[in-house]
Amino acid sequence: MPQLQTKMFFSIMLFVMLFFVLTNAVRNDLKKRQLLDQGQPCKNEYDDLHCTTLICHIKGEDIHKCQLTDERDVGITCVVSEACKTGLVCFVPASSSPTSTVSNGTCQPTPTNAPKQ
């Protein structure tokens, strides 16, 4: 009889441990998918897509938080034009993937549509 109780105890403990491990893994996975609000910490310019504002501040003070604007120079990675300096726009090449809604581009000079003479 004691052997049966020991097996039952270890079975229950194993089930409880497995339950906690799996629920924690799901919770961590859900945290990774959530977008960061303005002012939340982010790592670098490659974290732009993790911010709801689409800008992880990397220039100037280098505070590494999601921001509304930035002043990135020509050729620096961006997702939205608000990340580029005044007079520059974020040029994102046409995506070959139909499922991709947002992708990285680079800050480029604003195109001028001056008539040719």
> Does one domain contain both 43 and 57?
yes
- Whole-number pLDDT of residue 12: 92
Q: Which are the contacts of 82, defined by CB distance < 8 A and separation ≥ 6? A: 53, 54, 55, 68, 69, 70
- Whole-number pLDDT of residue 114: 47
- Whole-number pLDDT of residue 27: 61
- Per mean pLDDT, which range of 32-36, 99-103, 110-114 is the poorest? 99-103
> What pTM was computed for the model?
0.51
> Does one domain contain both 48 and 26?
no
Structurally, the chain folds into a number of domains equal to 2
User: In whole numbers, what is the pLDDT of the chain averaged over residues?
Assistant: 74
Higher pLDDT, 24 or 95: 24
- The domain of 86 spans 37-95+103-110
- What is the DSSP code string of 47-72? GGGGBTTS-B--STT---BB-S---B
Give dist(CA 49, CA 19) in Å, integer.
32
